[in-house]
Amino acid sequence: MALSETYTNRIDLKLVAEMVTPGTRVLDVGCGDGALLALLAETRQVDARGIELSREGVAGCVARGLSVIQGDADTDLADYPDDSFDYVILSQTIQATRNPRLVLEHMLRIGRRAIISFPNFGHWRMRSQIFFRGQMPVTDALPYSWWDTPNIHFCTIRDFVTLCEVVGAQKERAVALDAAGGKVGVSAPWWFWNLFGAQAVFLLKRG
C-alpha cells in the first residue's frame, strides 16, 4: 500500500480501496474532493465516477480530471440504472443522508457490491460523553455541535447491522477500526466492536 501513501493518510479510505477489485467500475457517493476516487483510479485502475453535493467539491474533482456529477445521494441515485457499477461506495456519508435506508437500497440496486464506511456512535468515547457529561458527543473526527451538524442519522455498528438485515443485504466483510486506525480484533464479538470500533467499513451485496 506504499503507493497510496501519496494519495491519502486516511486509513478508512485505504481499507475501502483494498476491498475493491482492480479494473472494475466504481461510483463514490459523496466523493468530496475526490481523494478516494483518485486513490482508486491510480492504485486499482478502476473506472471511477463520483457524486458530490458541494459545488466546490465537484469543481475541484473535475479540475483534477475525475468524472464527478454535482448531485444529492438522497435524490439522484434513483436515476442510475440497475447493475451499472461493480461497487457503489458511501464513505463517511450515510449519517448525513435524509433517508439512509433508501440510499442503501439504491446502492445495492445500482452496484453489485456496496461499501459503506461510517463513524460508530457506539464507541466508548461517545458513550462516555453522554454518560458522564450528559451532552451530545463532540470529537476530533466529529467536531460539530448538535445544532449545526450535517450528520442527522448517526448509528452504532450494531444499528447498522440491523439496517443490513432490514434491507436484506449480505455482509461479505466487516472491519472496525479503533481510534488510532488499527483494526479491531477480527474474531472479536460484536459487542466488543461496537464498544471499541471508532469507525466501521462494511462490504455488502444483495441478499
Q: How far apart are the first and last CA of the chain?
A: 31
Binding test (CB under 8 A) with another protein, winner from 1, 59, 152, 166: 59
Name the 3-class secondary structure at 206.
Answer: strand
CA–CA separation, 200 vs 157, rounded Å?
A: 7
Is residue 62 within the footprint of another protein (CB under 8 A)?
Answer: yes
Number of H helices, E strands in the chain: 8, 7
Stretch that binds another protein, among 74-82, 90-98, 115-123, 186-194 (CB under 8 A): 74-82
Report the 10 Å Cβ neighbour count for 162: 10
Instruction: Name 188's Cβ contacts closer than 8 Å, sequence gap at least 6.
Output: 196
CA–CA separation, 167 vs 172, rounded Å?
A: 15
Is residue 23 within the footprint of another protein (CB under 8 A)?
Answer: no
Residue type, 191: W
Binding test (CB under 8 A) with another protein, winner from 47, 72, 86, 159: 47
Instruction: Considering the complex, state which of residue 40 and residue 177 has its C-beta at the smaller distance from another protein.
Output: 40
Site for another protein in 153-182 (CB under 8 A): none
- Quick one: cell of 49? 465516477
CA–CA separation, 90 vs 104, rounded Å?
A: 9
Stretch that binds another protein, among 61-69, 91-99, 122-130, 172-180 (CB under 8 A): 61-69
Instruction: Considering the complex, state which of residue 84 and residue 149 has its C-beta at the smaller distance from another protein.
Output: 84
Is residue 70 within the footprint of another protein (CB under 8 A)?
Answer: yes
Could you give the string, one character per residue 81-110, with x where binding to another protein holds by CB under 8 A and - elsewhere? x--x--------------------------
**Shortest Cβ 8–another protein spacing (Å):** 19
Instruction: Considering the complex, state which of residue 75 and residue 170 has its C-beta at the smaller distance from another protein.
Output: 75
Is residue 145 within the footprint of another protein (CB under 8 A)?
Answer: no
Instruction: Considering the complex, state which of residue 75 and residue 128 has its C-beta at the smaller distance from another protein.
Output: 75
Distance of CA 44 to the CA centre of its chain: 18
Question: How many chain residues are in contact with another protein, going by CB under 8 A?
Answer: 20
Binding test (CB under 8 A) with another protein, winner from 8, 67, 139, 151: 67
Burial code (b: 16+ CB inside 10 Å, e: under 16) for 66-100 equals bebebbebbeebeebeeeebbbbbbbbbbbbbeeb
Residue ranges that bind another protein, judged by CB under 8 A: 47, 49, 55, 58-59, 61-71, 79-81, 84
